[in-house]
Structure 1
Amino acid sequence: MEYAYEGSLRQNLHTISQIDWKDKLNLLQCIVSDLHIIHSHDLIHRDLHSGNILLNSFKSAYIADLGLSISANIMSKSKYDGIYGILPYVAPEVLNNQPYTKASDIYSFGIIMWEILYGKAVSYNQKLDMSQLCFLICYLDLRPAVNNEAPQCYVNLMKKCWDKNSEKRSSAKDLCEIFKKWQNDESVLFELNESKSILENIEDSYYENMFNGGSKFINTREITKKFSEMALLSKEIELIDIPDDS
């Protein structure tokens, strides 16, 4: 087993945000290369987040904690009342009580891309309870905030990873090739480096540290039930005949 000299990615996000973009791309390639190996063995990680990524250095990492990993074939035939995870990293289809797939891991990786871009742990507004937040993620496509100055090539790839339609997400293999190519693409590196100072000034509209700690049980069956209740209530409101004051 490798020794994580620098601890977890989550513990070092601010430091990572300060390193050269070529090293960030190498770090991302290391992470997604590990994910590709997991997927190539027909396994799904199911709990991928920055706390489960350990750093050999600030430009080299590996994925840890495979305790929740499962065969993709078994997963497709399984039914569960819930999952263990950290909410912002969980794909919308999983929150909607659908089986985990390799594409669900890619969604989690997209959130990690956001954290590396902005140098902070992902979070959402604390005024929302879990059901409300899940509803917004699943049905209104709520995702972490991205400012207009962020490098477009990176943002496009990140958004592809967290696309609501799991079939549109990139594969780990494709992502690995992209990050490898970008490390030697001067135009891409120029765009990424130009954005570095601007990204440090992003408005901190999301509460940090909301999802500190390890993975927790998320009752997706109960959440799906509440989704149905919300949808029914919404339809009932639409049917109410509001008198015209005029």
Structure 2
Amino acid sequence: MNAAFEIPPHAVRFGAQVGSGGFGVVFKGVYAGEMVAIKKIHSHALGNAASVAEFQSEVAVLSAVRHPNIVRFVGACTMPPALMIVTEFLEKGTLFDVLHVSKEPVGWRERRGMMVGLCDGMTYLHSRGLLHRDLKSSNLLLDKDYTVKVADFGLTRIVSSPTAAPMTGQCGTFQYMAPEVLANRPYTEKADVFSFGILLWELVARKLPFFGMAPMQVGLAVVNTGLRPPIPRDCPRPLAILMRRCWEQDFRHRPSFKEASKALEAMPSH
């Protein structure tokens, strides 16, 4: 990591806890006079090689990318035991929080704006040869104007070939995972597009995908029977068509994020 991004632990002031994940806790805090989010790695995760590798991967990606639809990296403390990632603080929290916790009303204009913003952020990532591999509502942040920002890059990897990435199978979250990833087959950036299709459904339905099903049960059904969430009756037809294209079983038939963005922009804004 660029030394300019290294933050001494004592320079960060911690506030309230705002979230937690598998290997870290997220706090609201202050650094250099700016309100920030601080992801602090659990002390018990320091002895776990996979957790430390995930932390290092996230720091490497965040310090190398800059886009309006990707969470802005402020810096990190990379000296154990105080492993921390510091990013901009976003007022509304995650898309998951907005859709399923606060349940605040979100109009079609805002939802369409989120979808287009997500496409733009992912187009940028893919243009840099990066696969996110864990796109889901709890990894997307929103500012006060509902601008979406892609976050959580611990599972992000570089595509090693333009046709296929021989990387870890079953990587990510089962409910959003593409069939080729679930089946441990080679996969490309189109695996992220599949996850986006599930996110489109979640934005319209305001429900959790495959709610009530066990993750392994979801995985088997998605791979073997082509199971997808039922499209809501009030879903606009052009959006339903895009959704189905994004979650095609054969990844070669899925659009790129740039194509998905054009399809969304062609839809009415209200």
Q: What's the counterpart of residue 151 of structure 1?
A: 236
In structure 2, distance between residues paired with 1:50 and 1:133 = 17
Cα offset, 1:79, TM superposition: 5.0
TM-score calculated relative to the size of structure 1: 0.67
- Is the CA contact 1:49–1:89 (under 8 Å) kept in the aligned structure 2? yes
Q: What's the counterpart of residue 150 of structure 2?
A: 63
Q: Equivalent residues in 2 for 1:92-171 (5 A)?
A: 92-126=179-213, 130=216, 132-171=217-256
In structure 1, distance between residues paired with 2:117 and 2:226 = 28
- Is the CA contact 1:44–1:69 (under 8 Å) kept in the aligned structure 2? yes
Q: Which has the higher strand share?
A: 2
Cα offset, 1:91, TM superposition: 0.2
Say whether 1:19 aligns with 2:106: yes
CA deviations over 1:46-96 (Å, ceiling 9, x no partner): 11111110001352111001121111126935354x433211100001111
Which structure has the larger Rg over C-alpha atoms?
1
Say whether 1:85 aligns with 2:172: yes
Change (3 A) 1:159 1:17: farther
Instruction: Give SS of 2:94's match.
Output: coil
Cα offset, 1:31, TM superposition: 1.0
Q: Which runs of 4+ in 1 moved over 6 A?
A: none
1:61 counterpart letter in structure 2: V
Say which is worse superposed, 7-16 or 56-65, in terms of deviation.
Answer: 7-16
Name stretches of at least 5 consecutive residues in structure 2 with no aligned partner: 1-71, 73-87
Q: What's the counterpart of residue 175 of structure 1?
A: 260
In structure 1, distance between residues paired with 2:206 and 2:165 = 38
- Is the CA contact 1:10–1:121 (under 8 Å) kept in the aligned structure 2? no
Sequence identity percentage: 30
Count matched residues. Answer: 182
Say which is worse superposed, 87-96 or 68-77, in terms of deviation.
Answer: 68-77
Q: What's the counterpart of residue 91 of structure 2?
A: 5
Q: What's the counterpart of residue 213 of structure 1?
A: none
Cα offset, 1:20, TM superposition: 2.2
Change (3 A) 1:112 1:79: closer
TM-score calculated relative to the size of structure 2: 0.61
In structure 2, distance between residues paired with 1:58 and 1:64 = 17
* RCO comparison, higher one (Cα < 8 Å, 6+): 1
Say whether 1:40 aligns with 2:131: no
- Is the CA contact 1:95–1:134 (under 8 Å) kept in the aligned structure 2? yes
Q: What's the counterpart of residue 51 of structure 2?
A: none
Instruction: Give SS of 2:263's match.
Output: helix
- Is the CA contact 2:93–2:142 (under 8 Å) kept in the aligned structure 1? yes
Name stretches of at least 5 consecutive residues in structure 1 with no aligned partner: 190-246
In structure 2, distance between residues paired with 1:118 and 1:152 = 14
Change (3 A) 1:25 1:125: same
Instruction: Give SS of 2:143's match.
Output: strand
Q: What's the counterpart of residue 52 of structure 1?
A: 139
- Is the CA contact 1:42–1:71 (under 8 Å) kept in the aligned structure 2? yes
Cα offset, 1:181, TM superposition: 2.9
CA deviations over 1:92-111 (Å, ceiling 9, x no partner): 01111112311000000011
Change (3 A) 1:177 1:51: same
Q: Which has the higher helix share?
A: 1
1:73 corresponds to which of 152, 160, 165: 160
2:98 counterpart letter in structure 1: N
2:116 counterpart letter in structure 1: Q
- Is the CA contact 2:197–2:244 (under 8 Å) kept in the aligned structure 1? yes
